[in-house]
């Protein structure tokens, strides 16, 4: 270890409020019975740990297990006010720097006693110290094997969660022989054509829905990246332990019956679940629908859209995740990945924010959140994500009745909404109140991702007069302003637009154009966007007989001007199939001009 004397690695004070990234590289050191004379212990080399922060995962804070040779009580969970658990048999004297959150005995392992508890690190030779070896000493010969698990800087949260959100192989556990219980999850792999290996575990079946069944996790021919569990709570705990033994990186749990119950029984069940995971299996859920990844071919439900895109979704509700995906696809958008995180007993919203912030396939992030278990860490993750790409959060549980519903739904404390508003302002994220606002805003965010700071001066172009008046109200109410067109612009518009029943001022009323509307609107729109007093434009109307031509005109005007263009794409007269074309061309569409302007204002005000 750098700077260590030849004979001993220095002890370092541990603890502190810093949090190392979740997905750090796992380095395991097994201390087992062996033939060496020193305490009857066989030592294995532990690679040198960097002098940066060392994160030792804890059973509650970060769901891992820590064991070594000497007692070292933890000082508690920084920032939470909860006391730590004394870690019998822990020696951190080898750590270059430490951030110890919590440690406890492993399930089924007796604590060290007597002389073994008083063990200390054995002296190292200069060569051994240079190699980063650590030789803990168990002074009681034949002591039970213990395991040390640490996370060293080197693997990001993004890399750690990739096997879970981008799995190459999946096993579904809990499907009945008839295919009724849990079949929806297997169908969510088969329908979109999962691009990987699919396994099923059922001890009493040879085949389910055309997929070969295996009697247990241990009997699988290969180790999957993700296990999907549809079992009741007690059997699910045992299966998680089997996943940990097999080395499966993650499990998505539809299973309920844990902390969301609000009972001591549920909380105790949650503690046993985390003990079964032993820091080796990261848990999505429980009480969630798992992962949606259209590129890989995995879905929450059968029949979900399989169109990939640049949106990342975090949702505490599986049903609302499905609704969000469908609503966004109707706007021409697609998703990189989506996760239904449920109760957040292990992985939580902060982890997924860190993942999506680093994910190159994700251009913008949207989230439905009822509450978070660690507000400080969530704030840090939100700041990091919002600095990298747009983040839109639909926060529910804003009032007392909604907060009570959130508590019973996922067991989360909703928190004061004023705090969420302040956190969003400070981080640069956007807070919305319902699904419509989230879809409108994320559509605009995706369309205007290349615009550094949206301006507030808006030009409104319309054929029908009434909607323009309402749009003008919405513009001012949203904190925007109607742009004042320059005399040069109005003079040219006056030469193009007929004088009767029209207006060359803002809102620009082009009148009723029955034929050639795409060309006529296009000429006027380009003039407005070329005006230095105009920052963005919203268009109302269109050409029903030439939908693609009109959409193409909007895309061309957006590309040529470089300024935001919005389009009131109403489906009152039937569906408009040009939504994907508009989305690809970075034109933001919403069912009304008012919703276009409110979404744009959220981007301009952040």
Q: How confident is the model at residue 89 (pLDDT cuts 50, 70, 90)?
A: very low
pLDDT, position 260? 78
pLDDT, position 261? 82
| CA-based end-to-end distance of the chain | 46
The Cα 477–Cα 79 span in angstroms is 40
Average pLDDT value for residue range 243-265: 90
Q: Name, in order, each residue with C-beta under 8 angstroms of 180's C-beta and a sequence gap of 6 or more.
A: none
Over 50: is that where the pLDDT of 331 sits?
Answer: yes
The Cα 267–Cα 261 span in angstroms is 8
Lowest mean pLDDT among 44-53, 292-301, 361-370: 44-53
**C-alpha 144: how far from its chain's center?**
40
Query: Residue 169, class by beta-carbon neighbours within 10 Å (0-12 exposed, 13-18 middle, 19+ buried)?
Result: middle
pLDDT, position 398? 78
pLDDT, position 570? 82
Tell me the two tokens of residue 242: 């089997």
Instruction: Please tell me the pTM assigned to this model.
Output: 0.74
Average pLDDT value for residue range 329-355: 95
- More confidently predicted of 462 and 122: 462
Over 60: is that where the pLDDT of 131 sits?
Answer: no
Lowest mean pLDDT among 257-266, 370-379, 448-457, 592-601: 257-266
pLDDT, position 40? 30
The CATH number of the structural domain formed by 307-447 is: 3.40.50.261
Q: How confident is the model at residue 102 (pLDDT cuts 50, 70, 90)?
A: very low
- More confidently predicted of 503 and 339: 339
Say if CB 449 and CB 391 are below 8 A apart: no
Q: How confident is the model at residue 513 (pLDDT cuts 50, 70, 90)?
A: confident
Average pLDDT value for residue range 179-190: 85
The number of beta carbons lying within 10 Å of the beta carbon of residue 509 is 21
The number of beta carbons lying within 10 Å of the beta carbon of residue 319 is 12
pLDDT, position 328? 96
449-605 homologous superfamily: Succinyl-CoA synthetase domains (3.40.50.261)
Tell me the two tokens of residue 57: 């995962």
pLDDT, position 12? 34
Say if CB 308 and CB 314 are below 8 A apart: no
The Cα 352–Cα 349 span in angstroms is 5
Mean pLDDT of the chain: 76
The Cα 232–Cα 240 span in angstroms is 12
Rounded (10°) CA dihedral 269, 271, 275, 276: 20
Percent of the chain whose predicted confidence (pLDDT) is above 90? 58
Q: How confident is the model at residue 403 (pLDDT cuts 50, 70, 90)?
A: low
The Cα 239–Cα 272 span in angstroms is 12
DSSP state of 362: -
- In angstroms, the Cα distances linking 544 to 57, 275, 493, 552 are 60, 61, 24, 13
Tell me the two tokens of residue 124: 């190292």
Lowest mean pLDDT among 141-150, 163-172, 345-354, 470-479: 141-150
Q: SS3 letters for 265-293?
A: HHHHHHHHHHHHHCCCCEEECCCCCEEEE
Lowest mean pLDDT among 77-91, 144-158, 250-264: 77-91
Torsions phi, psi for 310 (to 5 deg): -110, 10
- More confidently predicted of 549 and 464: 549
Query: Highest-confidence range of 55-69, 131-145, 150-164, 497-511, by mean pLDDT?
Result: 497-511
Q: How confident is the model at residue 258 (pLDDT cuts 50, 70, 90)?
A: confident
Q: How confident is the model at residue 201 (pLDDT cuts 50, 70, 90)?
A: very high
Domain 307-447 identical in fold to domain 449-605: yes
Q: How confident is the model at residue 412 (pLDDT cuts 50, 70, 90)?
A: low
Closest CA to 289 of 252, 326, 344: 252
Q: Domain extents for the chain?
A: 1-155, 156-286, 307-447, 449-605
Say if CB 459 and CB 540 are below 8 A apart: no
156-286 homologous superfamily: NAD(P)-binding Rossmann-like Domain (3.40.50.720)
pLDDT, position 136? 37
Tell me the two tokens of residue 340: 């239904």
The Cα 600–Cα 445 span in angstroms is 8
Over 60: is that where the pLDDT of 554 sits?
Answer: yes
Lowest mean pLDDT among 148-157, 339-348, 525-534, 544-553: 148-157
Say if CB 254 and CB 228 are below 8 A apart: yes
pLDDT, position 6? 35
Q: What angle do CA 143, 145, 148 make, to 5 degrees?
A: 125
Helices (H), 389-507: 400-410, 417-427, 435-447, 465-477, 487-496
Query: For 18-37, how does the pLDDT look when each residue is reduced to its tens digit (9 = 90+)?
Result: 333 333 333 333 333 233 32
Over 50: is that where the pLDDT of 332 sits?
Answer: yes
Over 50: is that where the pLDDT of 461 sits?
Answer: yes
Say if CB 198 and CB 210 are below 8 A apart: no
Over 80: is that where the pLDDT of 589 sits?
Answer: yes
Tell me the two tokens of residue 596: 């276009």
Over 70: is that where the pLDDT of 70 sits?
Answer: no
Q: How confident is the model at residue 561 (pLDDT cuts 50, 70, 90)?
A: very high
Over 90: is that where the pLDDT of 213 sits?
Answer: yes
Query: For 39-57, how does the pLDDT look when each residue is reduced to its tens digit (9 = 90+)?
Result: 332 323 333 333 222 233 3
Percent of the chain whose predicted confidence (pLDDT) is above 70? 70
CA R_g for the chain: 29
- Strand segments (E) across 99-214: 99-100, 146-152, 169-173, 197-201, 207-208, 211-214
pLDDT, position 282? 95
Over 60: is that where the pLDDT of 138 sits?
Answer: no
């Amino acid at each position: 270890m750098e700077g260590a004397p030849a004979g001993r690695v220095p002890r370092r004070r541990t603890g502190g409020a810093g949090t190392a990234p979740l997905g750090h590289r796992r380095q395991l050191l097994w201390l087992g019975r062996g033939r060496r004379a020193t305490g009857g212990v066989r030592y294995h080399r532990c690679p040198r740990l960097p002098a940066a922060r060392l994160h030792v995962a804890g059973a509650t804070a970060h769901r891992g297990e820590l064991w070594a040779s000497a007692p070292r009580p933890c000082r508690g969970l920084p920032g939470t006010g909860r006391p730590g658990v004394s870690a019998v048999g822990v020696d951190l004297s080898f750590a270059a720097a430490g951030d110890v959150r919590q440690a406890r005995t492993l399930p089924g392992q007796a604590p060290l006693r007597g002389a073994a508890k008083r063990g200390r690190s054995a002296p190292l030779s200069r060569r051994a110290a240079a190699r980063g070896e650590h030789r803990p000493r168990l002074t009681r010969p034949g002591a039970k094997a213990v395991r040390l698990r640490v996370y060293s800087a080197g693997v990001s949260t993004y890399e750690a969660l990739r096997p879970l959100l981008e799995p190459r192989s999946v096993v579904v556990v809990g499907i009945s022989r008839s295919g009724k219980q849990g079949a929806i999850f297997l169908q969510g792999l088969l329908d979109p054509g999962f691009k990987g290996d699919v396994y099923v575990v059922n001890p009493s079946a040879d085949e389910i829905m055309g997929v070969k069944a295996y009697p247990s996790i241990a009997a699988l021919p290969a180790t999957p990246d993700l296990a999907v569990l549809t079992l009741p709570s007690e059997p699910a705990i045992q299966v998680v332990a089997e996943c940990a033994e097999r080395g499966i990186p993650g499990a998505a749990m539809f299973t309920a019956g844990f902390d969301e119950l609000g009972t001591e029984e549920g909380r105790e069940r949650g503690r046993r679940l985390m003990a079964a995971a032993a820091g080796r299996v990261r848990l999505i859920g429980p009480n969630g629908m798992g992962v949606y990844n259209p590129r890989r071919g995995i879905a929450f439900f059968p029949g979900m859209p399989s169109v990939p895109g640049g949106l990342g979704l975090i949702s505490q509700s599986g049903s609302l995740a499905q609704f969000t995906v469908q609503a966004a696809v109707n706007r021409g958008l697609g998703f990189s990945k989506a996760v239904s995180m449920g109760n957040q007993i292990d992985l939580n919203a902060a982890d997924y924010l860190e993942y999506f912030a680093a994910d190159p396939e994700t251009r913008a992030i949207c989230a439905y959140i009822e509450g978070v278990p660690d507000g400080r860490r969530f704030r840090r993750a939100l700041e990091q994500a919002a600095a990298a790409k747009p983040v839109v959060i639909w926060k529910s549980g804003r009032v007392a009745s909604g907060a009570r519903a959130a508590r019973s739904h996922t067991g989360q404390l909703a928190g004061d909404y004023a705090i969420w508003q302040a956190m969003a302002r400070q981080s640069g994220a956007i807070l919305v109140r319902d699904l419509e606002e989230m879809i409108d805003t994320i559509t605009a965010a995706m369309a205007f991702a290349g615009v550094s700071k949206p301006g507030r001066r808006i030009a409104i172009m319309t054929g029908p007069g009434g909607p323009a008046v309402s749009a003008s109200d919405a513009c001012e109410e949203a904190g925007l302003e109607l742009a004042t067109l320059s005399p040069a612009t109005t003079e040219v518009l006056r030469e193009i637009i007929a004088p009767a029943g029209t207006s060359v001022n803002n809102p620009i009323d082009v009148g009723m154009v029955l034929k050639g509307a795409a060309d006529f609107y296009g000429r006027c729109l380009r003039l407005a966007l070329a005006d230095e007093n105009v920052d963005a434009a919203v268009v109302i109307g269109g050409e029903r007989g030439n939908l693609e031509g009109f959409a193409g005109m909007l895309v061309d005007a957006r590309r040529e001007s470089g300024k935001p263009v919005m389009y009131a794409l109403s489906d009152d007269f039937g569906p408009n199939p040009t939504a994907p074309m508009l989305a690809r061309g970075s034109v933001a569409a919403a069912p009304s001009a008012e919703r276009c302007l409110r979404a744009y204002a959220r981007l301009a005000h952040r």
